Amino acid sequence: MSSPSTEGAFSLERFLDRERVAVEGALGQALDALLPLLDPQVRDAVRQGVTSGGKRLRPILCVAAYRACGGPDEEGARQVAAALELIHAYSLMHDDLPCMDDAPLRRGRPTPHAVHGEASTVLGAGALIPAAHLHLWHSASEMGLPDGVRRDLVRILARAAGAGGMVGGQALDLLGEGRRLERGELDGLHRRKTGALLTAALSMGAVAARAQDGVREALEAYGRAIGMAFQIADDVLDATADADALGKNPSDAELDKSTYVALLGVGEARGEARRLVREAREALRDGGIESPALDGLAAYVVDRDR
Ligand code: GRG
């Protein structure tokens, strides 16, 4: 199993820049189908939620997994992957609302509800959930994937986004405010809230490429490890970076949330994140997956500055 990027010296920075632009192209196509159906104010909230930057990590991971599995239609896979970002965008629009984290800033600018109002943001984010699944179904059809594979893809996304995944994790997060969660509780919360969608990205890339079960399982093990590493790095950034660098106000302490930093301290939390990066890379090795992109992305999730 190899990647075209093994042919020259691999630069993660160039890879990320290129992939981000390509993902944004795919998102533009997804929005072309959705935006004309929406009332102008809701449309503007959706446009901001989806196009205001971000690392685009989930679709980038999905396409990298597809490529690592030797998938032949990267452009098609990128459209499939865009569905993950539509779900991620909706989750951030809701996460920032006054009834959730009540955040005024994200990615260096006022949040969608602060600009377009709460009702438009709730509705627009809500419209992104079915739109993501419809876009996924349509894109997988365009790739010529058989019905069973298309159904698997939709099931993976819906499970990761739903009560057993991201939404369930968010509920635990809100219920945990003001309580000191133990390590097991915190791990369980973040496996769902952050880890489920990241792992789904790897899974969907493998399934779209029709990878063998062993390879898919190795990619999912990689996804679980980087999902947890990503969250620990997020907690470290929230505790150590300033609002300018983060593009948002650090909020864990203010919301009295349990975090890996509160539980382990900054030094040990960083060490745990690095251990998880090694675990992710081992999963790739064990699955016989050679991918400079996935290898580099594992380190990137903990080395990032925002
Ligand atoms: C109300 C139906 C309903 C659901 C709400 C709000 C919610 C469900 C879930 C949110 C869960 C959540 C915020 C997960 C994301 C955690 C996280 C670390 C986000 C930041 O991701 P990055 O760093 O963001 O990839 P960028 O800005 O790069 O896109």
Distance, in Å, from the CA atom of 295 to the CA atom of 132, rounded to the nearest integer, reads 28
pLDDT in the model for residue 14? 97
111 lines ligand 1 (CB under 6 A): no
Centroid of ligand 1 to alpha carbon of 95 (angstroms): 6
Q: Which residues of 203-232 are buried (b: 16+ CB within 10 A; e: fewer)?
A: bbbbbbbebeeebbbbbbbbbbbbbbbbbb
Distance, in Å, from the CA atom of 292 to the CA atom of 272, rounded to the nearest integer, reads 22
Backbone angles phi, psi at 98, to 5 degrees: -55, -35
Centroid of ligand 1 to alpha carbon of 166 (angstroms): 8
C-alpha count within 13 angstroms, C-beta hemisphere, residue 237: 20
Distance, in Å, from the CA atom of 56 to the CA atom of 26, rounded to the nearest integer, reads 11
Q: Give the angle subtended at the CA of 199 by the CAs of 274 and 81, to the nearest 5°.
A: 120
Token pair, residue 52, equals 């205001």
Q: Which of 23, 166, 235 to mutate to test the pocket of ligand 1 (most atoms within 8 A of CB)?
A: 166
Distance, in Å, from the CA atom of 263 to the CA atom of 133, rounded to the nearest integer, reads 37
167 lines ligand 1 (CB under 6 A): yes
- Considering Cα of 148, then 146, then 58, then 127, what sign does the dihedral take? negative
Cβ–Cβ < 8 Å for 302, 273: yes
121 lines ligand 1 (CB under 6 A): no
Q: Domains in the chain, please, with CATH?
A: 12-303 (1.10.600.10)
The model's pTM is 0.95
| 165: helix, strand or coil | coil
pLDDT in the model for residue 254? 84
Q: Ligand 1 atom 6: the closest Cα is on which residue?
A: 95
Distance, in Å, from the CA atom of 193 to the CA atom of 106, rounded to the nearest integer, reads 18
DSSP code of 3? -
DSSP 268-306: HHHHHHHHHHHHHHHHHHHTT---HHHHHHHHHHHH---
Q: Which of 58, 174, 191, 193 to mutate to test the pocket of ligand 1 (most atoms within 8 A of CB)?
A: 193
Q: Which of 51, 92, 194 to mutate to test the pocket of ligand 1 (most atoms within 8 A of CB)?
A: 92
Give the type of residue at 156.
Answer: I
Backbone angles phi, psi at 145, to 5 degrees: -75, 140
Q: Give the angle subtended at the CA of 285 by the CAs of 279 and 286, to the nearest 5°.
A: 85
Along the 306 residues of the chain, how does pLDDT read in single tens digits?
Answer: 544 444 568 999 999 999 999 999 999 999 999 999 999 999 999 999 999 999 999 999 999 999 999 999 999 999 999 999 999 999 999 999 999 999 999 999 999 999 999 999 999 999 999 999 999 999 999 999 999 999 999 999 999 999 999 999 999 999 999 999 999 999 999 999 999 999 999 999 999 999 999 999 999 999 999 999 999 999 999 999 888 888 888 888 888 889 999 999 999 999 999 999 999 999 999 999 999 999 999 999 999 988
DSSP 43-87: HHHHHHHHHS----HHHHHHHHHHHHTT-S-HHHHHHHHHHHHHH
| 258: helix, strand or coil | coil
pLDDT in the model for residue 227? 98
194 lines ligand 1 (CB under 6 A): yes
pLDDT in the model for residue 164? 98
84 lines ligand 1 (CB under 6 A): no
257 lines ligand 1 (CB under 6 A): no
Centroid of ligand 1 to alpha carbon of 197 (angstroms): 10
